[in-house]
Structure 1
Amino acid sequence: MPAAPRRDTRGIVDASGLMTRVRFRRHAPAEPLRRHLEHYWLIDWDLTEPYVSHVVPHPSVNVVFQDLPGQRPFGVVAGIGLGLFSKELAGRGRVCGVQFRPGGFRAFAPGLAVTELTGRELPLEDVFEDVRPDPADTAGAVLGPDDEHTRVAALDAFLLRHGPAPDPRAELAMDLVDRIRADRTALRVGDFAREAGLSVRAMQRLFSAYVGVGPKWVILRYRIHEALEHAESAAAVDWADLAAGLGYADQAHLVRDFTATVGVPPTAYAPG
């Protein structure tokens, strides 16, 4: 469990273009929350022209508080996005988000199977009933302070009111996703399940209830994140070599998956 937020830009398409237009920061949550959260992410912008950001989503649930032009502050619970996520940023705005570790969200909403959130955004009050009758008050408490450490403290206070509830199956789900993320040899669900001492069906049920997508989807998504990071950071990429390093049978399979996820083939990818 990391003590500090990661610094990479995995999943962000044209990361350099986004960072020149917004103030993007990550913060660590309070100690009792760190087992279940990746980090908090804060974005502020003041743009003279609209900008569309694109993200290849992580296999994570996010709680997102937003202050957008012409709207009252509001919050949503965003399940895992299955496709490329695009968002237009315009005018002046502020977002404070919570990225949960894959498998970690259900400790804060024990009655909700995470697969029910997949591909969806729900109003905050639909998941956390105590923010009624005026969820804008909760969102305003997070978004209102100019001092970002005060915003982080408000996020801590909100989450600590709701958990995390002890749950050994959540612990197992988080550990299994960590292994997938770190181990490039974790490519076949059957082999991975046997190594974990589970049947394929039991692992699929666990991932459905606690992660929101199946283990095969998680394996693929982390490989695409790594390929995208190479495309962002390297002047020239040997895609055949990278495909082999990521465990693909050949370059064609990587090209197909990358194109389906990002929207352009890796050989044509040109950030900015």
Structure 2
Amino acid sequence: MRQPRRDTRGIVDPAALLRQVRFRRLAPAAKLAELVEHYWFIDWDLDQPFEQHVVGHPAVNLVVLRPTPDDPVTAEVSGAARELFSIKLAERGWVRGVQFRPGAFRAFSGRSPAELTGRRVPLAQALPVADPGDRLAAAATDEVAAAVFDELLLGLRPDLGDSVRLAIRLVDRVRHDRGLRRVEELAQQAGLSVRSLQRLFTEYVGIGPKQVILRYRVHGAIELAEGEVDWAAVAAELGYSDQAHLVREVTAAIGVPPAAYAASLR
């Protein structure tokens, strides 16, 4: 069975997050492995409020949340984020989530995730399923909660067609190939015209291939900032035309220049 990712890519200052919360991931049922990246679980019990920032993956998430003991459990679906995502945590609460593989959500909904890009909507507006909030709140273990998600998603009878498979494969290629720098390169590798590639990404990922390439380059820069950094070398490794280009894109994504971010980690 494919194991869930262990990296913290996209999480701004992951060490600070892990000092404040318990963060776990579990793999989905084998029949869902091609479509679901992982299930994720976060619990916290804080003396002081804590704010976390994330440069999200180009993926749709199903999120079930109880932010404090006095709040009701809510279930929503969030599309690929257009900008830095921030959440404030306080008191004692939890989140249970499903991260769909980029390109896979349409297999469950039959609708383009472009309708959700930059948005968070109630679960009932995005998927024809019963609200799992009460069952997740009562789940005694992560494994029980994962079984609730498995049952919910398998009940949708996802349609893993050729276009879904292609979209998933191409986004995965962008994520893992740091040498892939241009939309034209990806289109050529896929045997598609640039316009066809753009249409595929819009309809199945929710954002265009250029935005996906940019998102994963920023992820790479954030990840590499955790050590001693030669930013000119990082810019070259991630395919930026020069260091100034990297500085502009990372600053736009996380709100501070990469050197200042790296200094804050140290």
The percentage of aligned residue pairs carrying the same residue is 51
Matches within 5 A, 1:56-71: 56-69=55-68, 70-71=70-71
How far off its partner does 1:163 sit? 2.8
SS of equivalent to 1:129: coil
1:46-79 CA-partner distances (Å, limit 9, x unpaired): 1111100111111110000111223211111100
Question: Which stretches of structure 1, 4 residues or more, deviate above 3 A after TM superposition?
Answer: none
Matches within 5 A, 1:140-155: 140-155=134-149
**In 1, Cα distance between the equivalents of 2:126 and 2:66?**
20
SS of equivalent to 1:12: coil
Query: Which residue in the other structure is 1:113 paired with?
Result: 112
Q: TM-score, normalised by structure 2?
A: 0.96
Query: Which residue in the other structure is 2:15 paired with?
Result: 16
Matches within 5 A, 1:1-272: 3-69=2-68, 70-110=70-110, 112-131=111-130, 135=131, 138-231=132-225, 233-234=226-227, 236-269=228-261, 270-271=264-265
How far off its partner does 1:84 sit? 0.7
**In 1, Cα distance between the equivalents of 2:217 and 2:129?**
38
**In 2, Cα distance between the equivalents of 1:51 and 1:140?**
26
SS of equivalent to 2:40: strand
1:12-43 CA-partner distances (Å, limit 9, x unpaired): 11111110110000100000001011111100
Q: Which amino acid aligns with 1:244?
A: A
Q: TM-score, normalised by structure 1?
A: 0.94
**In 2, Cα distance between the equivalents of 1:17 and 1:130?**
35
**In 1, Cα distance between the equivalents of 2:20 and 2:239?**
35
SS of equivalent to 2:265: coil
- How many corresponding residue pairs? 263
SS of equivalent to 2:253: helix
Q: Any gaps of 5 or more consecutive residues in structure 2?
A: none
Q: Any gaps of 5 or more consecutive residues in structure 1?
A: none
How far off its partner does 1:166 sit? 2.7
1:218-261 CA-partner distances (Å, limit 9, x unpaired): 00110110110111x20x20000010011111100000000000
